[in-house]
Structure 1
Amino acid sequence: QPSNAARCSPRYNDLHVFELQEPTRVLAWLGHKSVCVAGYENSRRNEILQLLLPQKLYVKENQGLCPERDFKVERGGFSDRPVYSLRHVPDTSLLVTSGPPDSSLQIWQLAAEDTDVIKSISTIPTGNDCQKLWAKIATTFTSSPCVLHGSRVNNVQITEIESKKNIYAAASSISEEVSGLEFLDCNTLLACCVRGQLCLADIRQPPSPLGDASVPPALGGEQWCMGVSPGLQGSDGNALTIARLSSGGQLTLTDLRNIPKPLKSAKCNVSAASPSAEFLCVSWAPVLDGCLAVSGFDGTVHIYDSQSWPVSGGEAEPLFSHKGHIFSGTDNGDDFPLVTAHAWHPWKPRTLLSAASDGSLHVWDWVETHNNN
């Protein structure tokens, strides 16, 4: 069967271009109709905004012409520190944010229907402030809202948001900086280190050192991030596939049941290494099997179909490339904007949001036109 790249000529189905008052590096979904954005400037107070999507982007049936064609601010608030990470706590009206100059967490309450304020309600100190590293975060809701947080593997912990009670702390001698954290389920957590190691832990077991898997020595000098997805097509439905992306453009897919042996790997079609590894982002499509998005190298977002990659590796050609931020304006002088974040639409297969360092916010959708030849 030919690859999608070979048999299709993708093109835009839709493209919406918006301008934020300040750039964001977070795009967090609140249900299917709205997203949160937040500023990340160090020199001023930063807005946190809940934006309602244009109607055309959240109606499931064909509505024809929709009256609302722009984002609408539903709620807002101000943060006294830059917002580098933002997570919504499922099934609640709570947000958790983090950012420099330390690793403390800020808790926010989305306003009731009669007000439009996003209110700061508490701070969770973590005891790691001296390290000057902001905390990576993930959230879940079991019997109570919880946040997984940490800046290094040896200080990863889980805290109940309301009581601020610590319910899990990793017992690890690994002091590597963490680039990402995720709950795989309510009892299992995964950390990705900046140097590429994956660390898995089950909180039902006695605290023990988080295991780690090494990365190829040739790639040891690069920085890495991760994205978590269900398994590839044809694999066990309960399997989880982890995509790791390096600052040099290397993509590696790993089945958590066999971490030391990667499933597949490929080289992204990038002209140069990421100029700012903290903006690296790789994410799996929620309803488009085997597809993932990559950004953080320049003003583009690339879509790849991992099912078309040769087992032997090599360079992968994008299924689609969104270059709109390059043409939406310039950041500083002759420098092009850098994509700071992207996010897939929860149920529209080929629709994504992307934000860049010039404050541009794009919503775009592509369609695959099958060749007749």
Structure 2
Amino acid sequence: MREEEEEEAGGADAWLLDSLRLYNDLHVYELHEPTRVIAWTGEKRVCVAGYDDRRRNEILRLLLPPRLFAKENQGLCPERDFKLELGGFADRPVYSLKHVPETSLLVTSGPPDSSVQVWCMEQDETDVIKPLGTIPTGKGDEPAWAKIATASSTSAWVLHGLKTSDVQVTEIESRKIVFRAASANQDELATLEFLDQTTVLACSAKGQLFLADIRQPQGLLGAVEDASIASALGGGRWCAGVRHNPLGSVGDHPRIARLSAGGCIVLTDPRNMTSPLKAATGCRPASNLPGSEFLCISFAPQLEECLAVSGFDGTVCIYDTQSWGPAPQEREPLFVHRGHIFSGAEGADGPALVTAHTWHPSKPRTLLSAATDGSLHVWDWADPSGAS
């Protein structure tokens, strides 16, 4: 046992030394309880929340380390200098949390049912994140949790659903149903997203993509590819991520990325969704992986060909997709963040597993990531090519 501890300590020391050259910035924080959600509420603020089903869970709004935004490079800085700004308590685990753009509203979901909870962030003398009520999804009594997405049009909207047959868009303030899907498909949902103000995307847990035009109140949530495509590309459970208007350019179409529990990555252009644009095989599930509940894939908003993948182990992998083709080939990551492997003690369930990650909206190579041991990291990885 002593030899194993010494080996782990040596690995941590080596990683800290490597960090001096691998990162432009690295900040490490320990939450009181682990989170599986990281939601931006501005350039410098994020919300996190607990997901323990045995007690009440905190919802917190944190201010990122000020030195992360200093003009000069601050180098390695493993200090606990996130600042707690607002907090509240949820009576259920929080499995998904989204901020409604340009408002002080949050929406959350989590078991034991498929309802959506609405919250208000009020920075006053109490500094409390206050519950405003719930919005039902489907039957409302399903022993599962709703997938959610948000948008701000003429009013605040939440897109929510448990299965492809019960997807709906609800106006948060009035609780008016703006759109309800008319679909016979009963597949479980993995991801919901707004592609734009009139189009919603659903990715089923089987990896199949569905689209709907919400200008039709009883619109059809229709499959846009053959169900055999996703199964042929890897099978297993899938999740998805969407990139909007790469690099802020006008006229560009969103791009969709899907990730399977088998480690397959598929990129799709919404203008031609019947066949993959690019594909690859990358991350491989660890032998002790406790399922696929934390799978996460996301595009870099400021780097045109980069995406991040997590949920297989204690790492976050960055991939450059520029050279990828439509046939899935084995691809190596451009960068691997291994900090969660070494930043916390091994728990009863084994080594730390990354639960969530997100890119900073404007700093090109800055990400936040969280793990099952309660560690929360914000890191800016150094480009191996030396580009600024």
Asked if these proteins are the same fold (TM beyond 0.5), I'd say: yes
Q: 1:152 to 1:370 in 2, by over 3 A?
A: closer
The alpha-carbon deviation at position 238 of structure 1 amounts to 2.4
Determine whether 1:332 maps to 2:347: yes
Kindly indicate whether the alpha-carbon contact (under 8 Å) linking 2:344 and 2:352 is maintained by their aligned counterparts in 1: yes
SS in 2 for 1:326: helix
The alpha-carbon deviation at position 168 of structure 1 amounts to 0.8
Cα distance between partner residues in 1 of 2:219 and 2:385: 52
Q: Which residue of 1 aligns with 2:298?
A: 283
The alpha-carbon deviation at position 125 of structure 1 amounts to 2.3
Q: Which residue, 320, 334, 340 being the options, matches 1:305?
A: 320
Cα distance between partner residues in 2 of 1:151 and 1:50: 27
SS in 1 for 2:58: strand
Kindly indicate whether the alpha-carbon contact (under 8 Å) linking 1:56 and 1:69 is maintained by their aligned counterparts in 2: no
Q: 1:123 to 1:312 in 2, by over 3 A?
A: closer
Q: Which residue, 35, 39, 47 being the options, matches 1:36?
A: 47
Determine whether 1:355 maps to 2:365: no
Cα distance between partner residues in 1 of 2:161 and 2:235: 22
Q: 1:125 to 1:343 in 2, by over 3 A?
A: same
SS in 2 for 1:102: coil
Q: 1:136 to 1:334 in 2, by over 3 A?
A: closer
Kindly indicate whether the alpha-carbon contact (under 8 Å) linking 2:100 and 2:150 is maintained by their aligned counterparts in 1: yes
Cα distance between partner residues in 2 of 1:357 and 1:77: 21
TM-score, structure 2 normalization: 0.87
Q: 1:306 to 1:131 in 2, by over 3 A?
A: same
The alpha-carbon deviation at position 231 of structure 1 amounts to 6.8
Q: Which residue of 2 aligns with 1:164?
A: 175
The alpha-carbon deviation at position 206 of structure 1 amounts to 5.7
Does 208-217 or 28-37 show the bigger shift? 208-217
Kindly indicate whether the alpha-carbon contact (under 8 Å) linking 1:303 and 1:318 is maintained by their aligned counterparts in 2: yes
Kindly indicate whether the alpha-carbon contact (under 8 Å) linking 1:299 and 1:326 is maintained by their aligned counterparts in 2: yes
Q: Which residue of 2 aligns with 1:178?
A: 189
Q: Which residue, 274, 290, 293 being the options, matches 1:260?
A: 274
Kindly indicate whether the alpha-carbon contact (under 8 Å) linking 2:283 and 2:312 is maintained by their aligned counterparts in 1: no
Determine whether 1:76 maps to 2:87: yes
- Partner letter of residue 276 of structure 2? P
Unaligned runs of 5+ in 2: 1-20
Q: Which residue of 2 aligns with 1:248?
A: 262
Determine whether 1:319 maps to 2:334: yes
SS in 2 for 1:256: coil
The alpha-carbon deviation at position 122 of structure 1 amounts to 1.1
Q: 1:331 to 1:129 in 2, by over 3 A?
A: farther
Does 1 or 2 have the higher relative contact order (CA < 8 Å, sep 6+)? 1
Determine whether 1:199 maps to 2:210: yes
Q: 1:318 to 1:43 in 2, by over 3 A?
A: same
Q: Which residue of 1 aligns with 2:130?
A: 119
Cα distance between partner residues in 2 of 1:311 and 1:245: 15
Deviation per CA, 1:293-329, whole angstroms, max 9, x where unpaired? 0000000000000103245431111000001111112
The alpha-carbon deviation at position 330 of structure 1 amounts to 3.4
Determine whether 1:226 maps to 2:240: yes
Q: 1:192 to 1:282 in 2, by over 3 A?
A: same
The alpha-carbon deviation at position 187 of structure 1 amounts to 1.0
RMSD over aligned Cα atoms? 2.3
**Percent of aligned positions with the same letter in both sequences?**
60
Kindly indicate whether the alpha-carbon contact (under 8 Å) linking 1:340 and 1:356 is maintained by their aligned counterparts in 2: yes
SS in 2 for 1:57: helix
- Partner letter of residue 44 of structure 2? K
Determine whether 1:109 maps to 2:120: yes
Kindly indicate whether the alpha-carbon contact (under 8 Å) linking 1:14 and 1:366 is maintained by their aligned counterparts in 2: yes
Q: Which residue of 1 aligns with 2:104?
A: 93
- Partner letter of residue 291 of structure 2? S
Deviation per CA, 1:9-43, whole angstroms, max 9, x where unpaired? x8222211110000000000011111000000000
SS in 2 for 1:118: strand
Q: 1:198 to 1:271 in 2, by over 3 A?
A: closer
Cα distance between partner residues in 2 of 1:229 and 1:126: 26
Kindly indicate whether the alpha-carbon contact (under 8 Å) linking 2:246 and 2:302 is maintained by their aligned counterparts in 1: no
Kindly indicate whether the alpha-carbon contact (under 8 Å) linking 2:354 and 2:372 is maintained by their aligned counterparts in 1: yes
Deviation per CA, 1:24-69, whole angstroms, max 9, x where unpaired? 000000111110000000000000000000102234x338699x96
Determine whether 1:296 maps to 2:306: no
Cα distance between partner residues in 2 of 1:143 and 1:232: 24
- Partner letter of residue 310 of structure 2? S
TM-score, structure 1 normalization: 0.90
Unaligned runs of 5+ in 1: 1-9
